Amino acid sequence: MKTTVSEKEAVTIGQRNRLQYIILGLLDQRPQTGYDLTKAFDNEIGEFWQAQHSQIYPLLKRLEETGDITHEVTMTGEKLAKKQYQLTPAGHEKLVTWIGEPSPELTALKDEFILKLYFIKTADDPRLQPMLQEQILLHQRQLQHLLHRRETVFADQAAIDQAYGHYLILDHAIEREQHYVQWLERYLTPRKDS
Amino acid sequence: MKTTVSEKEAVTIGQRNRLQYIILGLLDQRPQTGYDLTKAFDNEIGEFWQAQHSQIYPLLKRLEETGDITHEVTMTGEKLAKKQYQLTPAGHEKLVTWIGEPSPELTALKDEFILKLYFIKTADDPRLQPMLQEQILLHQRQLQHLLHRRETVFADQAAIDQAYGHYLILDHAIEREQHYVQWLERYLTPRKDS
DNA sequence: TTAAAACATGTAATTAATTACATGTTTTAA
DNA sequence: TTAAAACATGTAATTAATTACATGTTTTAA
């Protein structure tokens, strides 16, 4: 099959590209700009997925080319053009289909501490206890952060009722950190000094 | 600064490339081939990190170019040449340095189920309960798998004593799955039928 | 009034990771 | 004896993700 100069590449986005669904899901809540979406990753989305604006802007362009979203330009002040993106019916359908599909893959957790632990061969390795202590501090701090977020984001039952999934995620993350710290502390041997 | 045709590219591997440290750590245990290393990812390493042979072979070549490993060719049968890789002192040093460094980054967990949960807005969403049920099955199966591995890999205290870090990882993974299942079950509302 | 912070949108270059393509040998079990 | 499984090593193409480069506007607080 010959290709001609004028023939356009078919724009597709792989099913495994999860970022697209986050974008669709966020736009399903309300029309937003690329900048708004980027900020969402600094807040709640950031607890469980990471993305920079350099990934988001190109993907927005591609999602528009595949017909999942459209945009309208609105002006802020005299010169600043903002692109408000919104879902098309096709984009909404894609989101709903994805949520309805099974999620049979286990988390591929990439925890560098766990990786290092694997290469600690004996219980009396002098590096083990400092490593545990460092991780305890890290996860205690993360736990405090998550507890604080639950207090502020889900202060009343109404907040829980209208973002129930988000509440579940936060609840899960809090428990995970609590158990992580408990587990670390169990293998921490008390020091005698000072 | 001008570059000439004969000038070679300096081969470097980024510090953030974690796979290199797994390879170094595995080779620290004993000299191995790329095939052996690949198999290690089907077994215990696979519980917490993934890599295919198409990633491993090129990285072995680069690690040799940076002077971290060397190889010897051994013959199996008449024609089959195997490359046995082993650490150089520099490679060993690199491994030890990495293990000794702080690990201040929290796990970036990429759990698709968690992602979907975020977009479930209310507790009575009909998709919620089937999603929870699916995940319970998935994590119960994973838990059984991990328990079975602990039984077989760490059957006696001697096995624990000589691969203590690995034991800790497995113990942690088991607890994580137990808590995950408990957490999922807490939000599962019992059905009345059948 | 002005400097800093926040808002706003992109592209380029590089690196990491996955999937597919490619080929051949040795061992094991039927 | 032979077919399948396991052993063994690579490259090519594509996609995802990160880091760096690039530029400009509006709002806020000193």
Site of tokens 């061969």: A121
Considering all nucleic acid strands, name the nucleotide whose C1' atom is nearest to the C-alpha of residue A79. Answer: D25
Residue A32 neighbours by CB under 8 Å, 6+ apart: A26, A40, A84, A85
Chain C positions with an atom below 7 A of a protein C-beta are 7-13, 15-21, 24-27
Query: Which tokens hold the place of A57?
Result: 């802007």
Question: Closest nucleotide to residue B54 (Cα to C1')?
Answer: D10
How far does the CA of residue A74 sit from the closest CA of chain B (Å)? 27
CA distance A89 to A95: 10
| Residue pairs spanning A and B at CB distance below 8 A | 161
Instruction: Tell me if B86 sits within 8 A of B70, measured CB to CB.
Output: yes
The pLDDT score that the predictor gives to residue A5 is 40
Which chain D nucleotides are covered by protein, judged by CB under 7 A?
A: 7-13, 15-21, 24-27
Report pLDDT for A2: 37
Say if A117 is an interface residue toward chain B (CB within 8 Å).
Answer: yes
Q: Determine the pLDDT at residue B11.
A: 81
* B116/A103 touch (CB, cutoff 8 Å), yes or no: yes
Mean pLDDT per 10-residue interval, chain A, length 194 residues: 46 91 97 97 90 97 97 94 97 97 84 94 97 96 94 95 96 96 95 61
Residues of A with Cβ-Cβ distance to B25 under 8 angstroms: 118-119
Per-residue pLDDT in tens (0 to 9) along chain B, 194 residues: 333 344 455 788 988 899 999 999 999 999 999 999 999 999 889 988 999 999 999 999 999 999 999 999 999 999 999 999 999 999 999 999 999 999 998 877 788 999 999 999 999 999 999 999 999 999 999 999 999 999 999 999 999 999 999 999 999 999 999 999 999 999 999 866 65
Q: pLDDT by residue (tens digit) across A80-133?
A: 999 999 999 999 999 999 999 999 888 777 889 999 999 999 999 999 999 999
Task: Give me the CATH code for the B19-100 domain, please.
Answer: 1.10.10.10
